Chain A
C-alpha cells in the first residue's frame, strides 16, 4: 500500500500529498501523523495539496479530522497550495473546511504556524529549556 511521506523541517511536519487518496491511505496518514507528532514534539503540521486535482467531501473530511487530531496533540494545522479550481469546486459544493487554516504556499504556511505559536505563547522562548514539564518541549532544541 502507498504511504504519504511525512517530513520534519525544524519545528514543523510537512505532509505533501502527491497521490489520489483512498480510504486506506487516508487512515494510514492519520495514524502516521499522530505518531510522528508525539514522537517529534512538533507544534505545526503543514499539509501541501498542490498536486491534488480533486478535493471532494472525502478528502475534505480527512483534512478536517487531521486538523482535529493535531489540535488534540497541540499542533497547528495549515493546509497550503490549494488550486483555484479546487477552491471554486469546494465553494460550489458548499464545503468550507471549517476549522482549517489555509495559506497560499508552504512558505506562508510556515509563517502562519510561527505566528500562531507566537500568539499563543508570547513567552515561549524564555521557557524553551526547562521549567515546562511537557516532555515534548524539553526534548526539542
Chain B
C-alpha cells in the first residue's frame, strides 16, 4: 500500500520534526509489550534506525515498501525481525514493534495534524500494516531457516557407519527413519562399502522405535542397492514387538539374513568369511 506524494511528505515531516517524542513514545509502547526482555537502549536504537529509514525513503520519493529505493527500509525491517526470531520473541511481540508506530502517529496527528487528519491516519495505518506483514514474513522465514538447519544437523549426527571387523561395516540406526534420513543412510553406507571395500554390511535397527511398511521399504532398497554393488547386508537388532509388527504387516525380507542382535549378526558374518573364534583356556585351569 503506497502513500501519495503529499501523504509521504506529511509523514516524513511528522517523523522528522518530533524526533524525540516519536522515539520516546514508540520505545515506551514496545518496551511494555516486550516486558523488559530487551534493553531500552537497544530497543531505542533499533526504532530510531527504523524511523530514519522511513524518513529517508520519503525523501527519495513516496513511501512504498515495494519500491526499489525502499531497499534500506526493507533491510532494516528484515534485520529487526531476524533479531527478534533469533532471540526467541513470539511473532506477536515482533509485529507489535512495528504496529506501535500507529499509536505514536495518532497522538502526533491529534496534536499537530491539520484538516486531513483522518485521511492521513488511515493511509499511514495501511502503510504500517504492510510493514507489519513484511516483518511477519521475515520472521517466519528466519524461523523456517532455523528449523531447516536443525533438521540438517540432526541428519549429520545420526548416521555413523562403523567398521566392526576387516571387511564388515555396521550402521546402527537410531530414531525414526523417514525418506530423507533413509536416503542419507543409504548413500553413506554404500559409499563406505566402496571406500573400505567391505563385502558385508550389518544394518542394526535396535534404535528404530517402529517399523512400518515404509521403513521396511527403505531398508529393503538399501539392501538391494548394496547387493547390486556386490555386498551382502544383514539386518540385526529386531526387537520382539518389531518382529510381531513385521509379520502382522506381511513384510517379506525374502532371502535377506535377519538376526536378533548385533552380536549374532557379527558371528554370522565371521562364519561366512571363515573366521573362527575360540575362547582361550585360562592359565592353570
B-binding residues in A (CB < 8 A): 78-80, 82-88, 90-92, 96-97, 101-105, 107-109, 112
Contacts and interface: CB of A to CB of B under 8 A. Distances in A.
B228 A96 contact: yes
20 contacts: A82-B228, A82-B229, A82-B230, A83-B229, A84-B187, A84-B193, A87-B225, A87-B228, A87-B229, A90-B228, A91-B221, A91-B224, A101-B230, A103-B199, A103-B230, A104-B193, A104-B194, A104-B197, A108-B197, A109-B230
A90 to B, nearest CB: 6
B199 A102 contact: no
Contacts of A92: 221
B265 interface: no
A84 B228 CA distance: 9
B190 A87 contact: yes
A104 B228 contact: no
Contacts of B270: none
Secondary structure at the B interface, as helix, strand, loop or mixed, is helix
B230 A84 contact: no
B230 A97 contact: no
A103 B198 CA distance: 10
Given A87-B228, A90-B228, A103-B230, 19 more contacts: A82-B228, A82-B229, A84-B193, A84-B225, A85-B187, A86-B228, A87-B190, A87-B225, A87-B226, A87-B229, A88-B187, A88-B225, A90-B225, A91-B224, A91-B225, A91-B228, A96-B228, A101-B230, A112-B230
